[in-house]
């Protein structure tokens, strides 16, 4: 099971970091579609959980419990999550050093174009500045990066475990 988890987790991790290169290659004109692309890529990457769980059930143990299926999914999720975090920590300190400043500027422009009052805009900008300061702490950055990807893998792991468990 470990080899299966490492193999499919690595595949999922490589798929999500490939998204980084697309996002930071200049292909996307702004941040408007980056989030959609990111989460779509995560769902696509975590489809490896379905493939791995199905493979395990058909080729290794046709009596697959919910717990075992969930263990496969969560293992793949953790491997991909670690790859994602390591890749982001490297990229955010090298080729994407200005990410937070650019994201902040894009968000300010969106706020100014919205129909919010100036007081609401100012409050949101202050909140974003506080977040920008917090994000400089590597532990906060790791935690936020973890929370971007792990819940997606958790949901897909649960769905996969329900689908592939052996009914008694």
Domain count, the chain: 1
Residue given tokens 């099971």 in the structure block = 1
Question: What's the rounded mean pLDDT across residues 100-104?
Answer: 81
Question: What's the rounded mean pLDDT across residues 127-134?
Answer: 89
71-100 tens-digit pLDDT = 999 999 999 999 999 999 998 888 878 878
- Domain of 26, in residue numbers: 2-164
Mean pLDDT of the chain: 89
44-77 tens-digit pLDDT = 999 999 999 999 999 998 889 999 999 999 999 9
Q: How far is CA 96 from CA 50, 88, 89, 145, 165, in A?
A: 32, 9, 10, 14, 42
Please say whether the dihedral angle defined by the alpha carbons of residues 123, 124, 125 and 126, taken in this order, is positive or negative. positive
Give the model's pLDDT for residue 61.
Answer: 83
Nearest in space to 160 (alpha carbons), one of 75, 79, 49, 64:
49
């Amino acid at each position: 099971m470990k080899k299966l988890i490492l193999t499919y987790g690595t595949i999922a991790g490589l798929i999500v970091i490939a998204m980084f290169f697309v996002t930071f290659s200049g292909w996307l004109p702004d941040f408007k579609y980056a989030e959609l692309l990111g989460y779509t890529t995560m769902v696509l990457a975590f489809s490896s959980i379905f493939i791995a769980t199905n493979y395990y059930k058909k080729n290794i143990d046709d009596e697959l419990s919910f717990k075992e299926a969930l263990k496969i999914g969560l293992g793949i999720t953790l491997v991909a999550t670690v790859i994602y975090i390591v890749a982001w920590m490297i990229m955010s300190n090298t080729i994407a050093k200005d990410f937070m400043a650019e994201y902040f500027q894009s968000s300010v422009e969106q706020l100014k174009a919205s129909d919010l009052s100036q007081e609401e805009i100012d409050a949101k900008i202050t909140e974003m500045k506080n977040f920008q300061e917090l994000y400089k702490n590597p532990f906060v950055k790791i935690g936020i990066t973890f929370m971007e990807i792990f819940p997606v893998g958790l949901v897909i792991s649960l769905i996969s475990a329900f689908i592939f468990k052996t009914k008694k």
